[in-house]
Structure 1
Amino acid sequence: MSKGKEIEGEEEREDMCGNDSEVRSKKRLLARDSGASICIYANSSSGGEPQDADYSVASLSDELEALILARVPRSEYWKFSFVSRRFLSLVKSGEVYKIRRAVGFKEASVFMLAIGEKSWWAFDRQFRCCRKLPILPSDFCFSTGDKESVCAGTHLIVSGKEIDGVVIWRFELASNKWFKGPFMVNPRCLFASATCGTSAFVAGGIGMESEERVLSSAEKYDPETKSWELLPMMHQRRKLCSGCYMDNKFYVIGGMDENGNGLTCGEAFDEQENTWKLIPEMLKDAPVTTSQSPPLVAVANNELYSLEASSNELKVYLKRSNSWKILGPAPVRADFNKGWGIAFKSLGDELLVMGASSVACAGRGMAVYTCCPHPQADELQWRALDCGTSQLSHFIWNCSVMVA
């Protein structure tokens, strides 16, 4: 890659850590705590005294040490293996991510797979740092077929079909490895999904276990137990639908029924009440049609936005009137392939869109834009991110955002 920082998939480096007597040189770890930079030095135990500006790791309690490490940007975690075995253990065990959640220090990362790529890519929120994930060890059928992806905590879940049937692969951020499973209670494809904190929801789709049929079932994934839990049935069977999480509810929007008819209704699952509420005519102006992608939807600041595939316009959902307001054009060609190949995602208080740029001179490479939308804004201010990935295809196969 010509620009940006590329960090290749990191292998285990325990053999490079050694014990204290083997660590001859000082290794610095930068952390940010309350806006200040903290420099920690791991000194050898060969008798040398710390210098005036040095702070020995041995003088810090394990608890304080872990709190500092939890505030280090995740893009720097691969360097921990060069510092000490304890630092490496905090990352590989996943303990550092639990501490991050406890202190409210979280970062968004974008995981994406472009057409023609063998490996997934992981980007930081500003697309300044990126790295390739280890190659997913699936068969050819899975690699070249349609897939769905969603993040839950520090797990990236990728669902697809291998020669032997539907399968799920999960990438665990802590260990930097792919694992197979766990299978859903009702294996499916072309389903809606959404991330809620450390959990993920899926609903609808086409069942693949015994016979292909449109489903109304829903499930929730727990990364702590690595298991799926069945939820109550939706009111409507639907495939090619989309999902999002808003107002503490899991929304399933649009899609097609078992007869191939486009659906304009939506549904919202309230986990506290354990019930689904049907929302008639939620997509009355833009039902899914044959060969079109599922609705392109994302949530920012608890507001629902939609990228219209036929017009490339961004819309915001007005909850009180159950209607949509046009906010203006988006800087990508969502109409290029009827919505397919476009990534439209929530990125905290921003919206993220990736795909073919609508600017004529942008070329064929992947274009990345973000904006901070507001329902009452007169004009959207899109910001182009120079991520140095012009060699990646503008057709995005899969994309998910992980917050950890």
Structure 2
Amino acid sequence: MSKGEEGGSHSRKNNLNGRKGVIDQGFGNGSWVNNHNSPSKKTRVSESLHNHNTDESLDGFYTKEGEDVVGSSDVELQDADYSYVPSLSDELALLILARIPRSEYGKFCFVNKRYLDLLRSGELYKIRRQIGIKEPSVFVLASGESRWWAFDRRFMSCRKLPILPSDPCFAAGDKESFCAGTHLLVSGKEIEGVAIWRYDLTTDRWFRGPSMISPRCLFASASCGNVACVAGGIGMGTGMEILSSAEKYNPDDESWVPLPRMHRRRKLCSGCYMDNKFYVVGGQNERGVDLTCGEFYDSERNSWELIPDMLKDAPVSTSRSPPLVAVVNNELYLLEASSNHLMVYLKKSNSWKDMGMVPVRADQSRGWGVAFKSLGDELLVIGGTATSYGYGGHGHGMTICICSPDPNANDLKWRFLGGGGNRMSHFVLNCSVMVA
């Protein structure tokens, strides 16, 4: 996604007039609406604005880092109008509304009930997909946090997601996450067994399931267009089998469909989407031996192709986390955890080129606790502070950096975006990027 497709900054004050109040910065995390008729009055937005808890926020209602938001309960929903924009046809109005930055969508619910229904229907996201408009959000669960955080692309604004209503076993245990369309899926283990919880961006709510065909952990995953694919991992049955199976999730009908089996059984592997194919790299086989081979699934042929020695130039034995991989502009990058070096994959020679150090310490926990993701045409890395690279002053807090990688460059310019805005731990438990 090009930089121009962001559609604007979340920090702009595009206030939207309601009947008796004006939206200030949104109401994420039970935030507030400013009433200009009574500036000193601070009351929560009425629950009549939405059908779920006031601590939950609708998509797009962000607050800038460190900023409080105040408001009034006088804001009311207007009765539904006959058209979205009176002077335009609904078809044209929807095309215009779909082009508004997604970060502003939450404000629609204050226009009238028809806009609220439109927001929750998901229709605008379908139109955005059809006309090719994309805007990423970064979902992060850091150590010590009970709730997920959602950040805009530039990490200038953030909000808390609603509380995930799982049991304590799921909340305290290891989890894995990935995105498909407007769904964030989080897989983990509850007291009754393996469970998947699904966050729906259009409704700003968590839902249970659907479960995978073969429940698993420590698997590879990747967003492949509007769907997501998973492969490998450890089966959660009685035998704890190392899997070669794969499956695909379709958010449109919330279903899983099986894919052909990979050539190798593997756990602790990583996935990515490149050249319109689902790649699975690294991991360990059923004997615990590190795998240097990779393989990819070709949907046109409905088969897997093995890539021998794909990781032969990228040491894996010193790190027990899955390989930290990300694809930007159809190029595969790897953060080598034992050395904190960024490497780019050279497809023609099946080798890797060293591109220098990254501004985090992936080696501190052997690759665990670091987020390494593609963010449009940039690389995103979140982890512990590396003071030797000029990003000091944050103690042991979170460090967020991006760069625009060039495989032909000898020196990458990393840009520091902040520390999460909430003094979050540098140890990232889960991170996923949603593009919708």
TM-score by length of 2: 0.81
Q: Secondary structure at the match of 1:335?
A: helix
Q: Secondary structure at the match of 1:283?
A: coil
Letter in 1 for 2:167: D
- 2:75 alignment counterpart: none
- 2:431 alignment counterpart: 399
Structure 1 segment 5-404 matched on structure 2, within 5 A: 8-9=28-29, 15-16=48-49, 57-289=85-317, 292-359=320-387, 360-386=392-418, 389-404=421-436
Structure 1 residues 224 and 199, CA, compared in 2 at 3 Å: closer, same or farther? Answer: same
- State the alpha-carbon separation in 2 of the partners of residues 378 and 98 from structure 1: 41
- Larger deviation, residues 65-74 vs 118-127: 65-74
Q: Secondary structure at the match of 1:385?
A: strand
Gaps of 5+ in 1: 18-43, 46-55
Contact 1:355 1:394 in 2 (8 A): yes
Contact 1:298 1:304 in 2 (8 A): yes
- Larger deviation, residues 101-110 vs 295-304: 101-110
Letter in 2 for 1:389: G
Letter in 1 for 2:28: E
- State the alpha-carbon separation in 2 of the partners of residues 396 and 266 from structure 1: 26
- State the alpha-carbon separation in 2 of the partners of residues 186 and 6 from structure 1: 41
- State the alpha-carbon separation in 2 of the partners of residues 290 and 316 from structure 1: 19
Contact 1:354 1:394 in 2 (8 A): yes
Deviations 1:201-222 (A, max 9, x none): 0000000034201000000000
Contact 2:120 2:203 in 1 (8 A): yes
Contact 1:217 1:231 in 2 (8 A): yes
Contact 2:281 2:293 in 1 (8 A): yes
Deviations 1:306-362 (A, max 9, x none): 001000000000000000000010000000100000000011110000011212433
Q: Secondary structure at the match of 1:336?
A: helix
How far off its partner does 1:74 sit?
Answer: 1.6
Letter in 2 for 1:8: G
- State the alpha-carbon separation in 1 of the partners of residues 49 and 97 from structure 2: 20
- State the alpha-carbon separation in 1 of the partners of residues 200 and 317 from structure 2: 36
Structure 1 residues 214 and 263, CA, compared in 2 at 3 Å: closer, same or farther? Answer: same
Contact 2:109 2:119 in 1 (8 A): no
How far off its partner does 1:386 sit?
Answer: 2.8
How far off its partner does 1:390 sit?
Answer: 4.8
Structure 1 residues 89 and 194, CA, compared in 2 at 3 Å: closer, same or farther? Answer: same
Between structures 1 and 2, the one with greater strand share: 1
Structure 1 residues 399 and 223, CA, compared in 2 at 3 Å: closer, same or farther? Answer: same
How far off its partner does 1:8 sit?
Answer: 2.1
- State the alpha-carbon separation in 2 of the partners of residues 255 and 123 from structure 1: 30
Q: Secondary structure at the match of 2:262?
A: coil
- State the alpha-carbon separation in 1 of the partners of residues 270 and 337 from structure 2: 14
How far off its partner does 1:99 sit?
Answer: 0.8
Structure 1 residues 6 and 286, CA, compared in 2 at 3 Å: closer, same or farther? Answer: farther
- State the alpha-carbon separation in 1 of the partners of residues 343 and 267 from structure 2: 23
Contact 1:147 1:398 in 2 (8 A): yes
Contact 1:218 1:233 in 2 (8 A): yes
Aligned length: 368
Identity of aligned residues (%): 64
Contact 2:400 2:420 in 1 (8 A): no
Contact 2:318 2:366 in 1 (8 A): no
Q: Secondary structure at the match of 2:212?
A: coil
Contact 2:398 2:420 in 1 (8 A): no
- State the alpha-carbon separation in 2 of the partners of residues 16 and 139 from structure 1: 28
Deviations 1:145-203 (A, max 9, x none): 11110000000010000011111000000010000110100000000000012100000
